[in-house]
Structures are given as structure tokens and as C-alpha cells.
Structure 1
Amino acid sequence: MLTFRHTVAGESVTVNVPEDTTDLKLFWDWLNRARERGPIALDTETTGLNIYSAGYRLRTVQFGDAHEAWVLLYEQGGYHAQYAREAIPRCREVLIHNAAFDWLVLDEHAGIRLEDLAPHTTDTRILAALIDPRQPSEGGAGTALKPLSAKWIDPAAPDTQGGLTRVFNSLGFTKETGWAGIPLTHPTYLLYAGLDVILTARLAPVLRRELDRLGVRHQLVTYEHEIARICAVMQRAGLLVDQDYTSTLAGRLAEEAERYATVAARYGVTKVGSSAQVTEALLGMGERLTERTKGGALATDKTVLLPLADLDRDWQRIGARQPNALADAVLRAKRAGKWGKTYAEAFLANLSTAGRIHPTVSPLAARTGRMSVTAGLHQLPSSDHMIRRAILAEPGHVMVSTDFQAVEMRVLAALANVRRMKEGFINGGDEFDIHTYTAKLIKGENATPRHRKIFKGAGFGKVYGGGVATIAKQTGAEEAEIAQAVAAYDRAFPEIKRASSRWQRQAFQNRMVFISATGRRLPLDRDRTYSVVNYACQSAARDLLGQALLNIEGAGLLEYCRLPIHDEVLASVPQRDAEDIAREFQRCMSMDLYDVPITADPEIGGRSWGSLYGADY
């Protein structure tokens, strides 16, 4: 038996590493005693993060309570792996920090189905996020185990990730290669593996008490665990990649990036990523640049260049000015370069042996609880089909996308009880368009498409917190016109400003924390209290999507789901049943929020995700 000792919060703790069957039997005796006392913390060490990549290995499985940990050398196989596989189902309750990762590792590499393990799991990362969802850069503790342990357990709690990185470097490995390369029995590796479960075991009851003290609803905790499980199921399914198309696309994007870089070079910009070169060239062309970076330099990011190129956020012509050829070339060169590396090349590099990518779905990514998906799939332009064409439905299947209709504005109308806006949503029928309705409400029946665009910008400014200058850039209108439109919007829907003031007062009275419609704690920054409208709407919209996912699972449709993307659920469904399944998705995503109908629109495509955006396959 290898034994290591450490001090946590002034108490000596023990990490045991069984070396033979005699030691493993001692582990079994401990497990039987420990599970009678309460939950057992569980964790894994692996060769990296890409769970479905070729050659991926599960190295250790560790179990622990507040005083003792047992690290089983799963990679050695034989009895070590057998005891680990048999021990996990014997744990009545388990505590895991960032449970979805370990669920999927054990599901894929140890035969422990996540459907069997998840119902018995408490994820301490979820508990921490419901107490304070802010990251360290935002003034919170974050949700990583080390800073949480330092805050709640012991200020001297070891930074196991940082400590291991130093060990990796001393052995000639990088942070990325060290997890696979470090010797399985390295003392620091084993000690830190054991300490993680001890810290998790100590963290859980402290966080539970804090949730009770703050009055966070137990139902919200249960709900978040259910959403985490559903998202893990989608991550396990993954996305099938059209490898031939993707390989060709990577080459085409590289050529496009080079072609537009050549155009930029004609204007003296030899590196499209050089802000200094782009700034000098644009000023030389007579363009007026006013926005600055945090460092004080003139900004030339996408938000600055798009209006200069006469493009909106969807890369469609605004018609407000003559496009600046350099701004257009820089934008297109950078986009092609990014898409080639971030998407096409990355898809091919991260393929599983089954030809799939498995992007991580993070249910609690933002302060508001909004979800995110890795591999850049949450940042794809709304009108793009090029990248989405690389993702395929299963053989014999087609893609179905079901998304909420104008959910941000519906949520705003419901939460702020905006009378005329609610009337429009309730009585407007299936073809109701809130932005046309608003334009006509303010400008009369002769309102034009341009009026619609301007008042749409004003409405989204209310939801997302955009100011007059931002809306003007997005719409191509003059700031004076936008200022008038925003003022008219406030007169038409006065309840929004009143709700914002009321919610800000409530937050001030609650130590700068706003409580959402579902009981979620949303901390506000003192210099941006106006963001409370954005937080309230975004959080409620996210929880509508969460409820939709629960409805979808209840209807037996989860096996078809592939991704939750903002306000949309993407699914791969049998072609012969596509219409019936699409209607069922629509039913699952339709509900009411404070009498405002939340509606969804399903769309049936072809074999690729891109077919929903204009691709021909």
C-alpha cells in the first residue's frame, strides 16, 4: 500500500493507493463503512480532455470522504479496474466536482452508464455556481475546485492543477502532454488525485449550508443536475462529420484567407491581424476612427470594421455607405483564416474513431446560466451554411431545428408586464412579428421596413443593454435617429424602464444580487446595474430552454437531440418520421410565461445541418 499524508484545514488526511489484492480488500472494507456514513466523493484522472479520441486512457479512479481517499490504479487493469468498476455502483450517493466530465469518462471507458450514475450524483460545481456564478475576472470565486476550496475549506488548499503542471515540466512534458506521460505511480500525481476527492467531500456540505442560508430553492438544484445530465447525453452522442467535405473546405478557406490578405496588402496591410497596420491604412484612406481599446489604442475589431465595410452583424449589406475595400478585405481574410483553423481543421483533428466530434455542452457557462458549446459552435453567424454543412445527421436521418420565436422579446414582455407588447403576443396569431408591430404602433400603418429595423435595434438594446452608439452601428442609422427611436420606444412601452428601476432597487436591497424568475442569483456590477434587464431576460430564456429539454426527454425524443444552441435545439431524426417528430419538438418547446405564449418553430432540413441555412445537401 502506498500511503501519503497531508494537512487540510489543520487536520491530517490520508491518501491510500492499493498495490495488490490485499490492499484492495482494505479499500472494500473502507467503502462499506464509508457509504453508511454518507456520500462518497468520486473523481478520475485521465490522459486529457478529448474523451472520445483514439488512445484515450482512464488512468485512476479515486474515492474519498472528508478524511481519507483511495486512489485505484485503473490503468493497470486486472483487479484494480475490476474493483473500481464494482465499487461505483455500490455508492448510494456520490459527490463529483464537474460531474459531466467524469460521467462521460466512466461511461465510455469503464462501462458505467451515465444514466445509472447521474441520478445518485451531487455536483459541487453546480452548487457553487448557484451560490455565485461569477468567474474570478468578474469578482467571484469561480467554479474551479482550487479557488472554491481556498474560499470555503482552507486558504492553503493546494493548487493541484498548477502543482502538477510544474511536475509535468520537470519531467519534460507540457501541461497538455503531462496527463498522459507522467508515471502512474508518481507520488505528487497520486497525492493530488486523492486530495481532490477529500476537498470535494468537504466542499459539498459547506455549499449546501450556504445555499440554504441564501434561500436558494432545492428544486433549482435538482433542475440543474437534470439539465447537466441531458447535456451530457447530447455530448456523448456527438456530431457526425462529413470528412470529405470538411477537408475540401479547409483548403478552400485557406485559399480565401490568402486571397483577401493579398487585397489588404495593396493598401499597405501585410498582416491582417496587425491592428496598428490596419489603423494606419484606414486613417490614410480618410476614415475616422474613434473607438479605443482598453490600452488606449484606436480599435479596429470586427465591431469597428463591419460598419466601415457596410455590413451588419450577419454580414449583409446595410446600404448606409460605400463599402471600404480594406475593411472588407481584412474582415474576410480574418474570418476565412479563423473558420479554417477553428472549424474545418479542428473538426478533422478532433474526430473520434467513429468519425464524430463531441463538443462540450456547458449548462452553466454564463452568469445568467446561459449554456455554451465548445468548438465555436455557439458563435457561428446566424446565416452561415458553409461550416454547418460539415455536420451530418445519422444515415437515413435528416436534421431538424426547433427554435423559440422572438423569445427575448416575449420574455421581456412577460417579466416586465409590458401591456401593449403582451397584447400583441397574445392576440397577434402565428404570423405575429413584434418588430413590425412596434414600428406600426409608433409610426402608424405606413411604417417601413427601415422603421422595423430601427425599432428592432431599439428593442434588442433594451434586452441586451446596447446603447445608442451600438444600435446605430448595427442598424446603419444616425445616432440622433436612434436616440429618437429609443425615446419613442420608452413612451410606447413605459413598463420596461419602470421594471428596470424596480429590479435595480431590489438588487441594491439584496447586496447587489437580483433574484431571477426561477430563483437564480444574478450578481450585478455596481457600475452596470442597468444590465439587470439583460440578466433577467437571458436567465429566464435559458430556463425556458431547460424546461423544453426536460419536456423533450419526457416525450422520448432525447435520443435524437444533438445540441442546444442559444434558443434552438438541433436534432437528427429518421427521415420517414421527420414531420411527426418535428411537431412533437414544437409541442415540447411551446409554453406560457406569465400569460405570454412562448412559441417554437420547427424546420426540417436535409442530411446536413447546413441544409437548414441554404446548403444543397
Structure 2
Amino acid sequence: MTDAAAASEALPEVKQGERHLILVDGSGYIFRAFHALPPMTSPEGVPVNAVFGFTNLLAQFLTRHAGSHIAVVFDAARVNFRNEIYPDYKAHRPDPPEELVPQFALIRDATDALGVLHVEMEGFEADDLIAAYAKAFLAEGPGQVTIVSSDKDLMQLVRPGVQLLDPIKQKPIRETEVFEKFGVTPDKVVEVQALAGDSTDNVPGVPGIGIKTAAQLITEYGDLETLLSRAHEIKQPKRREALVENAEKARISKRLVQLDENAPLPRPIAEMEARPPGDHKLESFLRAMGFRSILARMGKLGEGNEPPRRGAPPVALRHAPAPGPVAPDLAAPFGSYEAVTEEAALIRWVAAATEAGVVALDTETDSLDARRARMVGFSLATAPGRACYVPLRHGAGGDMLSGPAPAQIEAERAFALLRPLLEDPSVLKVFQHAKYDLEVMARAENGGFATIAPVDDTMMLSYAMSAGKHGHGMDELSVLHLNHAPIKFDEVTGTGRARIPFGQVPIDRATAYAAEDADVTLRLWLLLKPRLREEGALALYEQVERRMIGVLRQMEEAGIKVDGAELARIGEDFSARLTVLEAKVHELAGRPFNVGSPKQLGEILFDEMKLSGGRKGKTGAYSTDAAVLEDLAAQGVELAARVLDWRQLAKLKSTYVEGLAAEIDAADRRVHTSYGMAGTSTGRLSSTDPNLQNIPIRSEEGMRIRRAFVAEPGHVLVAADYSQIELRLLAHLAEVPTLREAFEKGEDIHSRTAAEIFHLDPAKVDKEARRRAKTINFGIIYGMSAFGLAARLGIPPAEGRAIIDAYFAQYPGIRQEMERLKEEARTHGFVRTPFGRKLWIPDIATKDPVRRAGAERAAINAPFQGGAAEIIKRAMVRLPRALREAGLKARMLLQVHDELVFEVPEAEVAPTSALVKQIMESVATLRVPLSVDVGQGHSWAEAH
């Protein structure tokens, strides 16, 4: 079904000339737009992400729906007559974000520009005005009212002639839907809400009574007053007492939730008559806001005096775009894509892509796991606005009633026609998140596509220039760079239980969604690729990030073997230890309780044991997070310490014992983690399904888990770990001669630090002094405060401050470097790694002191984490080729922070270890030498 068809079904049947009032709940649109879109600014620097989203949503709505009258209704202020009834009404709601406040007035301007009346009134909520206008409109004569909102508070208005329209699902909300939600008809909704209350709006209701119970009571007794007058008849004691004791609260709650249908009408209904927008007024507004994609739909982009956006290359260039003016094609409207269901059409598209020299591709699959995903179809884009979708497996519903599948090219035949294009070295293939699509295509029928080259990745283009600045998903990049919000996956497949597989999406809807993805990807490439040189990120992208795609694909395919029997033994041991710990916790608490329940633990610590420091959250329960328990443990509260032990062991058991067992591939008994390439703000890789990055390195439990990772027979695992790489980067960046000297001589850096800041004889530095120095060395890199250091070392804050002062007195160059980094972040919004990569620090200019302090710590740490990430990536890019050229059969399996793990034939351990060490230590030239520790063993633990 097309959007237009879906929209028409969502509206009531209205005859030609019949009166139909559409009332749009403006607040719902505003907050949906603000939270869905990344930060955006107008040419004048004003935040406009909510303005853009609101304008886009309302403009799309106006193309889908027609009424004789229409208005957008806004809240005028937070305080209204309900606050006189109950001063705490909505008292818990936070103030709107500061970035949203200046957008409210612009959103009213957008409504006016689109030719729609907006209404609001002091002292009344938008919902009251909607109720009043609906009543007044129907009182004037026959007609229909559609309220565009899914707000539950407006469901009380549903009746013959009045319906709601869910703006997200584009589905009507009538009496049936209201009954499904509340268990009563619309005229009884306020009675149910009065009993159940609403924590969001701080409507008290009756404690202990929810929607379901309230519906049962109202159905039995008819209305609230009857129920309250007969509350003594209720058999359940707690329910009876709650109703008797809170009768007045229930009455107040009803007054709060009841909408005022007699509220004054700030504007006459006649002014709501639908009218087309004035083209000049709308165009002027869109240009002032910089909303290029909406202008493009109007066919106005490129007219007037709007300056061209930099960095958009002419489409005609073959995969080597250079900066230039905006090409007319880049402003082509989105949509009008072709569904390719015949071989002749696919042949034509392949020829066009070959001629263009650049093609954007995207795959549609039945799984997010690239190793298990099966292609349902693929899309191609050869120029902005020129894209197609090739369905392969649509319409197979799996039952007798689903009917025949729609016409489409047989998958193997489509792949055969596509293969020459993908293997043509003169045609650049552009993907968004290429690692996923390449893996999917490699596993296609007939041996898949083993060689797809050359490749560009818009996700990594963005990440190379803007790590930490924003997300790098296609939708976010499209809004940010193209001012275009693509169709959401949920819009075509549905959500929750109603979600359907993509292969069951009708081909016209699938084409609109999938071809648009390829179109957006190509446009992003045209905009982002030329900026690499301007941003100083060309070498980073070409030499590191783009090459990492193939390296990580090989590592993910290789996986690492897991000994299931050893994992089971570890699980049994952890279970036994958890039982012992639980018994100890119960003993210390003085009674048994659910150790995994934060609520019960909080009651024991702060109500029963009367410990200080208890803080209750919004739910009324005490906070017992790690920070709270660590603070109590530092004060000598053994119960808190043992609960922390229990939590850590329970997490390891569920995440790495049970979780790993579930991830073992039945075919090869190996786990195949997936590496995220653009998920961190520092350039580091992340790991999921399973996450192998967070196994504790130095704890006994972490080493036990590492014993379950083993080599295949005839092989060993070789682990190569950069030694103190972040401290070496600190010594490289800061002017600290003694640190550089220590690294050059191969001295123990922590012992050297201990001797210098504690004024000890180097020969007399004991384990405790070295431990403290190590904590300080690494804490400084992470911007640790005196309070944080004191907590980590278990000493008074004043002593922590004295240690930090002594540290900076000994190494003044480090303080100078830290201040330089904070100033760089404040001035430019980013810091750079030693190799030039920009790492953006978004909160550095915020007015919130807590967030700003966190941003300053991030600015200090980012160059060291980011530099270390870039060094190990350089090694990862060089090592596979170096191993091949040396005739060695080692496979690189894992990357965990500063460590690489290889599976090596037993006969090749010595030459492989030597080559790995040599490559890793030579990938960067610093003022101090890089050092790599190499170990080996039949398990990961032995190799560490």
C-alpha cells in the first residue's frame, strides 16, 4: 500500500464539500522532531533541528491529508488552571532543553509559512483548546473532527464524529482502540485515569490501582463517585483502604485529567479554513533556515541568492571527486525510484553504473547478523535521484493464503548480471557501513562475491573527520548533511509484534525505502569525500580506516575457538562461589533477601542498618549503584564490599560464561565477534555479539574466562600487547625529560614515578608505592580529580590533592600539556591525536558545570586513547600482508584495546612472534620507543 493509500484509510470518509476539522497537537510534533534529529543550526547559528523536523512532518502531513479546516494547537505556558487545583501538577517535569527553547518561536513561524493557523492561550493547555474546538465545530453543523495525536489524555474526546490519528503509525484511534488501551469506552476514560493517576504529569490517583484494576472497578460501579460512595463494599482490604483514604485525591485527579470543552476559543473557527501556503513566504522561511531538501522538493534550490554549499562535486567525475559548486543533480528530489523486476532492466542499470564509474549499493536482508543474513534484495544509485531496488525474495509468506510471490528476477541470475559490475576495478562501489554489506554479499549464492573493489564507505568517511561530533548512521548523516530525513525501517515493516520481515513488505514500499538508502549514500559520498583533504583526514581514511574494513572482515570470519567443556566448569565454579557469597551477604545483612534486588538492598543498608548516604530516586527506592557501594565499602561496610563481589561475579557468569556459550557457532565451535568501526569518540574499535573488550584483564575470574579461549590442534595462540602505550604517548606529547629517559632506558616507569614523587631511593620502592604511582600515572591520563584519586587509593581527599600537587610539581610539562588540550578543545571544539586526527568534544562549551568538567577530562584523555587506537590500527593494516609475504600461516583473530591475538601453527611461533613484534613497534615514530610484549600458549590466558 502506498503512503497516500494508507493515509486515506486513516481518515474518516468525508464527502466532497463536507466540513472536516483537523487539529494537530503541536507539542507532540515538536518533541518527536527534537529527540529524533541530531543538532542542526541555521546559517545564523541558531539551533533548528526541531524546526526542521516539525516543518518536514507538517509539510508531509499536508500532502497526505485534506480538510476543510485545519489548525496546529500549542501549549502557551507550563502553568495553567490545573496548577491552582493541584500545585504539584506536572511539577516533576524537567524544563525543556536549552537548545530547544529558541526554536519554539521559529516553529510558530514555520506553521504560518505553511499556511496553517496556530492557536494557543495562556491558562489553558493545548488539549483543552483541542477539546473546545472539537465541540464548537460539531455544534456549528454536521462534520468530522480528526485530532492528530496519540496522546492518551485526548482519547476521552473520541466519539461519533471525532477520532484521533496516530501521526507515527498513520492509523486512526477510534472507540475500539481506546477500549483496548483503557478497558472502557471513551466516555469513561477520565474515571479510569482519576483512579490510576499519571506519574508523568504528577496526577496522584489512588496508590496501588493501575489501569486494569481501575477499568474493572469503573465497569462494575459505573463512575468514580458511585465507586467512592460504595468503597466500603470492596472485599480486598488494601484496595478498600486505599480508596477510602485517597478519595479526595481521586476527585482532584479527575478534575486534572478532565479536559475543558468549554475553554475560550482564542481564534474563530472561520480563520481555520484550509488555504495553500504563500510560495514566497514559505520559500523565504526555508531559505532563512537553510532547509535545502525541502526547497529541493519545491524545485527552488539553486534560485535566489543562497550561497552554494562547499564540497559537492559534479556527478560526472569518475570516483575522484574534487571540491566544486553544487551540481544541479545533487538537488534532485528524492523518490520516483524504479523497482527492477526484469533482467533487461537490471542490465540497463548495470550499464549505467559502469558508465558513471561510481555506484552506491545497499543490501536488504533478513538478519542484522551478517554471517547469517540472507539477501532479500539490493539497491543501486548511479546519480542523485536516480536509484532502483532489485527485489529477490519478496512475497513468500510461507502459507497457503499468502498467494504467489510478485514478479522478480531469480536471485542467482540477478547475481550473475551484477557480478561484472562489482568486480570491475574501474567502478567505485560506495556503501554505508561497507563491512556488513560486503560480508552479506560474500555469502550470496554461487560462491557469493569474493572480490568487490574498489570500495568507499560513507560511514567511515564521516568517522575519519568527525569522531565524537555526532553519530555516523545513514539517517543521522542524511539529516545533518542533506537536510533530508529518510524513510524509517519501522515505517515499512511495523514494530513489535506487528513487525513483518522485509521480504513481506510490498515491493512498491520496499523500493521507496531501499532505493532511497542507496540514493542517500551516493549523495553523502559526493559531499563527504572531497572534504577529507580540507579536514586533514585523507591519509587517515585512505591508509587506515578504509583498509580496516577488509582486515576486520577476515578477523570476524576467523573467530576464535572456545572450549565449551572448560566454560561449563567455569560456570559451575562461579555458581558455587556465588552461593557462598550470597550466604555471606545474608549473614552480614542479618536476614535473607534477593541480593540482585537494588530495592531490597537499599532498604537493608539505609533503613535497617541506618547507614548514611542513602539517596532515593524517582521510583522511591534507594540508589545502590556501584558508586554508592564503593563509597560504603571504603568506609568499612563489609556488606557493601561483598555485594560488589557478588555483582561482579554474577555479571561475569551471565555475560561471559552463559553469554559465550550461547554465541559458540555449532559448525566450527568458535565465536565470531562483530567489530564496531565508528561507535566510539576516540577511534577505538568496539566489540559485540559477544563483547570481548570488557573481560577483566588482571582479575582471577578474567583469567579463568580467558582459559576457555583456545587454539586449534597443532596451533598456539600468540598475544602481542603494547606496553604502557598511553603513557608513552604522554611522554611523547608533554615535555617530561625524566619520563622519556625512563622509557628510553627500559626502566619500570611506575617505580621511577614512585621514587620521584614520593622522594624514595629507587632501590627502596615497594609494591605499595609502585601501585600508588601506577594509579596516579594512569589516573592523570584520564583527568582524575584529587577526590577520585583519593577514593581509588583509599586515602583522605586532602592526601589525594597533595599527591597530585607533588606529581605536577615533579612533572610540570604534564600539567602544561593538559591545560593546552583543554584550551584547544574550548577554542576549536576538538583535540587532535599525535597523528592529526580530530576528536570532537561536544560538551566543552556547555553551561552545565558537571558536563563541562566531564568534557575537559575527555579532552585530556582523547589524544592518548585516540593515538593508541590509531597505532594499533596501523599495525593491523600492515600485519596480514606482512605475514603473507613472509610465507607465514598465522591468522589475526582478536583486537582487545592494546592487544592483538593470533592463531599460529606450532612450527611458526618463533618467526611469527618476531615479525609481529617488529611490525607493531615500527608503525609510528615517537620521541620514546614503542614496546610490545609477546606471549604464547594453548589458551588465551597462557599467552597473556
Q: TM-score, normalised by structure 1?
A: 0.85
Distance 2:507 2:340 in 1: 14
Partner SS state of residue 692, structure 2: coil
Distance 2:413 2:756 in 1: 73
Does structure 1 residue 204 correspond to structure 2 residue 525? yes
Distance 2:932 2:738 in 1: 21
CA deviation map 1:427-460 (0-9, x unaligned): 2x3xx21110011122221333222222222211
CA deviation map 1:204-224 (0-9, x unaligned): 111224444434334444421
Q: What is the CA-CA distance between 1:372 and the residue it aligns to? A: 1.5
1:555-594 equivalent positions in 2, closer than 5 A: 555-556=882-883, 559-591=890-922, 593-594=925-926
User: 1:373 corresponds to which letter in structure 2?
Assistant: S
User: 1:450 corresponds to which letter in structure 2?
Assistant: E
**Contact persistence 1:39–1:94 (CA under 8 A):** yes
Q: Please name the residue that 1:542 is paired with.
A: 869
Distance 1:421 1:295 in 2: 50
Q: What is the CA-CA distance between 1:147 and the residue it aligns to? A: 1.4
Partner SS state of residue 443, structure 2: helix
Partner SS state of residue 590, structure 1: helix
1:286-301 equivalent positions in 2, closer than 5 A: 287-289=611-613, 299-301=623-625
Does structure 1 residue 532 correspond to structure 2 residue 532? no
Aligned counterpart for 2:940 among listed residues 585, 609, 616 = 609
Aligned counterpart for 1:80 among listed residues 414, 418, 431 = 414
Which one has the largest radius of gyration?
Answer: 2
Aligned counterpart for 1:33 among listed residues 345, 352, 368 = 352
Distance 1:255 1:50 in 2: 34
Partner SS state of residue 603, structure 1: strand
**Contact persistence 2:615–2:622 (CA under 8 A):** yes
1:393-408 equivalent positions in 2, closer than 5 A: 393-408=711-726
Structure 1 330/537 Cα, relative in aligned 2: closer, same or farther at 3 Å?
same
Q: What is the CA-CA distance between 1:395 and the residue it aligns to? A: 2.2
Distance 2:713 2:506 in 1: 45
User: 2:748 corresponds to which letter in structure 1?
Assistant: D
1:288-327 equivalent positions in 2, closer than 5 A: 288-289=612-613, 299-306=623-630, 324=638, 326-327=639-640
Does structure 1 residue 338 correspond to structure 2 residue 651? yes
Q: Please name the residue that 1:153 is paired with.
A: 482
Q: Please name the residue that 2:683 is paired with.
A: 369
Partner SS state of residue 14, structure 1: coil
How much is the aligned-residue C-alpha RMSD, in angstroms?
3.1
Q: What is the CA-CA distance between 1:276 and the residue it aligns to? A: 3.2
**Contact persistence 1:259–1:333 (CA under 8 A):** no
Structure 1 78/601 Cα, relative in aligned 2: closer, same or farther at 3 Å?
closer
Q: Please name the residue that 2:380 is paired with.
A: 63
CA deviation map 1:321-345 (0-9, x unaligned): 8671x33442343333323332233
**Contact persistence 2:475–2:485 (CA under 8 A):** no
Does structure 1 residue 416 correspond to structure 2 residue 737? no
Structure 1 64/458 Cα, relative in aligned 2: closer, same or farther at 3 Å?
same
User: 2:754 corresponds to which letter in structure 1?
Assistant: A
Q: Please name the residue that 1:514 is paired with.
A: 831
Partner SS state of residue 598, structure 1: coil
Distance 2:903 2:719 in 1: 9
Does structure 1 residue 101 correspond to structure 2 residue 415? no
1:169-188 equivalent positions in 2, closer than 5 A: 169=496, 172-174=497-499, 178-179=500-501, 182-183=503-504, 185-188=506-509
Distance 2:374 2:858 in 1: 44
User: 2:480 corresponds to which letter in structure 1?
Assistant: K
Distance 1:523 1:447 in 2: 40
CA deviation map 1:108-138 (0-9, x unaligned): 3353456x32x5111100111123223xxxx
Distance 2:368 2:386 in 1: 27
Structure 1 503/289 Cα, relative in aligned 2: closer, same or farther at 3 Å?
same
Partner SS state of residue 386, structure 1: helix
Q: Please name the residue that 1:316 is paired with.
A: none
> Identity of aligned pairs, percent?
25
Q: How many residues align?
A: 575
CA deviation map 1:461-489 (0-9, x unaligned): 21112222222232233322222111111
Q: What is the CA-CA distance between 1:583 and the residue it aligns to? A: 2.0
Q: What is the CA-CA distance between 1:244 and the residue it aligns to? A: 2.6
Determine which structure has greater relative contact order: mean sequence separation of CA pairs < 8 Å that are 6+ residues apart, divided by chain length.
1
Moved more, 68-77 or 281-290: 281-290
Partner SS state of residue 196, structure 1: helix
Does structure 1 residue 231 correspond to structure 2 residue 562? no
CA deviation map 1:224-265 (0-9, x unaligned): 111232122111111222223334444554554455345434
User: 1:601 corresponds to which letter in structure 2?
Assistant: D
**Contact persistence 2:391–2:507 (CA under 8 A):** no
Partner SS state of residue 529, structure 2: helix
Does structure 1 residue 126 correspond to structure 2 residue 126? no
Partner SS state of residue 387, structure 1: helix
Moved more, 479-488 or 551-560: 551-560
User: 2:860 corresponds to which letter in structure 1?
Assistant: V
Q: Please name the residue that 1:461 is paired with.
A: 779
Moved more, 372-381 or 65-74: 65-74
Q: What is the CA-CA distance between 1:496 and the residue it aligns to? A: 0.9
Partner SS state of residue 801, structure 2: helix
**Contact persistence 1:454–1:485 (CA under 8 A):** no
Moved more, 236-245 or 336-345: 336-345
Moved more, 345-354 or 570-579: 345-354
Aligned counterpart for 1:280 among listed residues 595, 600, 603 = 603
**Contact persistence 2:374–2:440 (CA under 8 A):** no
Partner SS state of residue 368, structure 1: coil
Q: Please name the residue that 1:599 is paired with.
A: 931
Partner SS state of residue 336, structure 2: strand
User: 2:349 corresponds to which letter in structure 1?
Assistant: W
User: 2:599 corresponds to which letter in structure 1?
Assistant: A
Partner SS state of residue 30, structure 1: helix
**Contact persistence 2:360–2:431 (CA under 8 A):** yes
Q: TM-score, normalised by structure 2?
A: 0.57
Distance 2:424 2:348 in 1: 12
Structure 1 297/599 Cα, relative in aligned 2: closer, same or farther at 3 Å?
farther
Q: What is the CA-CA distance between 1:72 and the residue it aligns to? A: 2.7
**Contact persistence 2:343–2:414 (CA under 8 A):** yes
CA deviation map 1:8-59 (0-9, x unaligned): 952153333333xxx2222222221223223111111222122334xx4222
Q: What is the CA-CA distance between 1:296 and the residue it aligns to? A: 11
Q: What is the CA-CA distance between 1:559 and the residue it aligns to? A: 4.8
**Contact persistence 2:370–2:437 (CA under 8 A):** no
Distance 2:890 2:710 in 1: 16
